[in-house]
Amino acid sequence: MSKLAITVFSALLLVSPGFAQTVDKVYLQSGLVLDGYISEQIPGKEITVTTKSGDRTCKWSDIVRTEKIFGENCSGGMAETVTLKSGESIEGRISVQNIGKDLTMETRDGEMRTVSFEDIAEISSDVVGSERQLWEVVPLLDRIILKDSTMVEGFIVTRRIDESVSILQKNRFRPQTYQLSEIVCYQKFRNPAFAGEIQGGVRVVVGGKNIGLAMSDATFDEVRLTLSNTPQIFMEDPVTIEVYALDIEEPVSVYKAKEKFIEEDAETVYVLKMSDKPAAEAVITGRTGEKTVMTVSVKKSGLYFIALDGFGTGIIVELYK
């Protein structure tokens, strides 16, 4: 039986993640409450909430307020400082935001403090109470999309009201500041290096390790996969994959991705075509409760996208025969 060396990647989320963790509660004018997390914001227009049952896009005007859920797996050891125009600083965590009106903070002393947005000059975030690095304790990372379509990913550390945001990128020592007039969209995506378990929602396990779901950037017929490095896992062929809290329907298609050099960007990406025929199909070997177990075996080494829910949700594995 041959050995496979499997490199598992998390693609950067350019469409909605196929998992949900209860980080936000979004209250709508209709009385409906959405549990999940806010994965995209187009200021003044709409937000998208990723829930356990899928994505829900709401008009900005339909939102009454948002609340943060501070569980062990959701807080990520984060603290926030709200600086008022008067010069006063309030340290703690923002728990409630009434759209366009005010926000409520749970201070370090356990008090609840409500302040008007009109009185706020700046909001900053930081990691506290953890020896782990920022990139390991934050469950969700930030992405901002600029007017020229540039995407900047990292962690928003400062928000100056009606002025700018500053985002810290990995492997950079200083945050980069962007004016609000440059930004058209804010997104959240799962941090593949998050060391804690994600409670609720979809979870994928390969070789005993939790693996981030891969999302695709689809333009016409082409699907681009942007990769980030993760450790190699060695196991025997076929590959066994465990998927939790996702209703998987057969057949589960496995597509081989191709390396493509993008000349104008001077970079190499991996792509596949929606019209491509699957290179293989995953075989579901068992279902227990919310858990689905499947095996994957391919004929050639290469990078493969295992489509758990169409081209939008799946995982990427690099298989070496």
Burial of 118 (0-12, 13-18, 19+ CB in 10 A): exposed
Q: Is 180 helix (H, G, I), strand (E, B) or coil?
A: helix
Q: Is 254 helix (H, G, I), strand (E, B) or coil?
A: strand
Give the whole-angstrom CA distance, residue 156 versus residue 167: 4
How big is the CA angle at 175 (ends 195 and 270), to the nearest 5 degrees?
60
Query: Nearest CA to 36 among 74, 81, 92?
Result: 74
Is 288's pLDDT higher than 50?
yes
Give the whole-angstrom CA distance, residue 180 versus residue 293: 45
Report residue 2's pLDDT band, with 50, 70 and 90 as the boundaries. very low
Write out pLDDT tens, residues 192-228: 776 554 444 567 887 666 676 665 666 678 877 755 4
Residue 206: predicted pLDDT: 79
pTM over 0.75: no
Q: Which value, to the nearest 10 degrees, does the dihedral of the CA atoms of residues 260, 14, 276, 204 take?
A: 110
Residue 271: predicted pLDDT: 84
* Averaged pLDDT, 102-122: 89
Write out pLDDT tens, residues 17-50: 333 345 788 888 888 888 888 888 988 889 888 8
Is 260's pLDDT higher than 80?
no
User: Which pair of tokens denotes residue 44?
Assistant: 């003044």
Task: Kindly report which listed range (160-169, 177-186, 307-316) carries the lowest average pLDDT score.
Answer: 307-316
Write out pLDDT tens, residues 127-157: 665 555 677 767 788 999 999 999 999 989 9
* Averaged pLDDT, 62-73: 74
